Amino acid sequence: MRAPGDSVADVETAGRSWWGALWALPWLFFQLFPIADLVTEPRPAGTVALAVAGLVVFTGTYLYCVTAVPGAGGARWDLAVLAVLGVSLAVSFGSAWAGLMIYVSAAAAMTLPPRCTWPVSGGAAVVCAAVLAVNDDYSLAVLPALCLLTAFAMRGMRYLITVNRELQEAREELARGAVAEERLRFARDLHDLLGHSLSLIALKSELARRLAERDPARAAAEMGDVEEAARRALAEVREAVSGYRQVTAGQALAEARAALSGAGIAVRLPERVPVLPGTVDAALGWVVREAATNVLRHSGARRVGITLTEDGVTAALQFEDDGDGAGERVRVVGASAGSGLAGLRERVAALGGDLTAGPVDGGGWRLAARVPLRPAEVVAG
């Protein structure tokens, strides 16, 4: 058993759950009988001292025994000591001490497997009944039955403790999984954000370096674009960290036109950007960004054509170029290396869509994505 908010490690040490001792405390009520017997029956001081010492050791052993985590395994020497002490005290001091067998039965139910619990609990009930019979005291005849009833109660309690521990461990595992998934999602978003911007910055910087001597004014303009791209990338990263970043298809198309045109690539964009649901719009925006980034990095293309349409049921995006860098992009798209396009596939698949990428007959490269306009209904269906 554990308090709310505690982890398994907080309350369990070396195979023991110290919260289990709290459930054992109410059963100490039955020690009123041996204590009353010590107070009311005249006995030599040495005998009383021995009985008190035995009762204290018995109680400590009982509390230690029931703290064992169910299923922890290991030898049950503590239960053996408890049984020997209980039988010895009951036989030595009479029927008032026969109730100690209830503790033996409870400890067995809390620590032993079912195949061993009932023989030990049954034996405790038999010892309890024998002590009462030998002392011709039937006023406590209910005690043998309580030995068995206590075993049933403690078995139920043990089940609850076990289930509670398993549920807590499952919750902790789910929490760890959620954290890991969120880290992967954020890493993917950061890759998509920075990959495009850094590719543009590298391209513009290279162009400015080449123009620095023969066309300083053009080089200064290109460096101004680099500065603007860097500022925009910084703002996007800040927004992503704050959880506010939402890429749209229209925004991504405008950025792609600026980046590709700046690299000397002719771009043909859709005449109209359709109004799309938020999740679909964002997913296709990421597709445009990653496709433009791959063209800048790998293609050597001179022309790019982008189409974006919707027919009331599905939104379709196609990004095609005439580049000859297909070999490089095969490796980028591959499962082992394509964190960018692999991440896009995950985004599109999560909305019930599909994404394909590959070379075009006659040269060039095509990336196409189709996403249902009502992803929630697709998933539910």
Q: Which tokens hold the place of 362?
A: 């006659």
Q: Which tokens hold the place of 162?
A: 């076990």
> What band does 142 get if pLDDT is binned at 50, 70 and 90?
confident
> What band does 21 get if pLDDT is binned at 50, 70 and 90?
low
pLDDT in tens, 146-156: 888 888 887 88
The three-state secondary structure class of 207 is helix
- The torsion angles phi and psi of 273, rounded to 5 degrees, stand at -95, 115
Output the average pLDDT for the chain: 78
Residue 31 reports pLDDT greater than 70: yes
pLDDT in tens, 201-227: 888 888 888 888 888 888 888 888 888
Packed helices 77-93 and 114-134: angle between N→C axes, nearest 10 degrees: 10
Rg (CA), the chain: 38
- The torsion angles phi and psi of 219, rounded to 5 degrees, stand at -65, -40
Inter-residue contact 204 to 223 (CB < 8 Å): yes
- The torsion angles phi and psi of 321, rounded to 5 degrees, stand at -135, 170
75 vs 151 pLDDT, higher one: 151
Tell me what the mean pLDDT of segment 265-289 comes to: 88
344 vs 3 pLDDT, higher one: 344
> What are the residue ranges spanned by the domains of the chain?
8-173, 247-381
Residue 317 reports pLDDT greater than 90: yes
pLDDT score recorded for residue 322 = 87
Using CB atoms within 10 Å of the CB of residue 135, give its burial: 0 to 12 exposed, 13 to 18 middle, 19+ buried: middle
- pTM of this prediction exceeds 0.75: no
First vs last Cα of the chain: how many Å apart? 41
**366 beta partners:** 320, 358
Tell me what the mean pLDDT of segment 196-204 comes to: 79
> What band does 328 get if pLDDT is binned at 50, 70 and 90?
very low
> What band does 20 get if pLDDT is binned at 50, 70 and 90?
low
DSSP state of 212: T
- Cα separation, 194 vs 234, whole angstroms: 9
The three-state secondary structure class of 105 is helix
Inter-residue contact 290 to 249 (CB < 8 Å): no
pLDDT score recorded for residue 370 = 93
pLDDT score recorded for residue 8 = 39
Q: Which amino acid is at 210?
A: R
> What band does 368 get if pLDDT is binned at 50, 70 and 90?
very high
> What band does 318 get if pLDDT is binned at 50, 70 and 90?
very high
**317 beta partners:** 308, 369
> What band does 319 get if pLDDT is binned at 50, 70 and 90?
very high
Tell me what the mean pLDDT of segment 120-139 comes to: 87
**13 beta partners:** 16
> Residues 6 or more apart from 283 whose CB is under 8 A from it?
344, 347, 348, 351, 353, 369, 371
| CA separation, residue 328 to residues 191, 295, 344, 355, 359 (Å) | 18, 11, 18, 19, 11
Q: Which fold would CATH assign to domain 247-381?
A: Heat Shock Protein 90 (3.30.565)
Per-position DSSP letters for 264-330, written without gaps between them: T-EEE--SS-----HHHHHHHHHHHHHHHHHIIIII--SEEEEEEEE-SSEEEEEEEE--S-HHHHH
Element (H, E) at 355: strand 354-359
Share of the chain above pLDDT 70, in %: 80
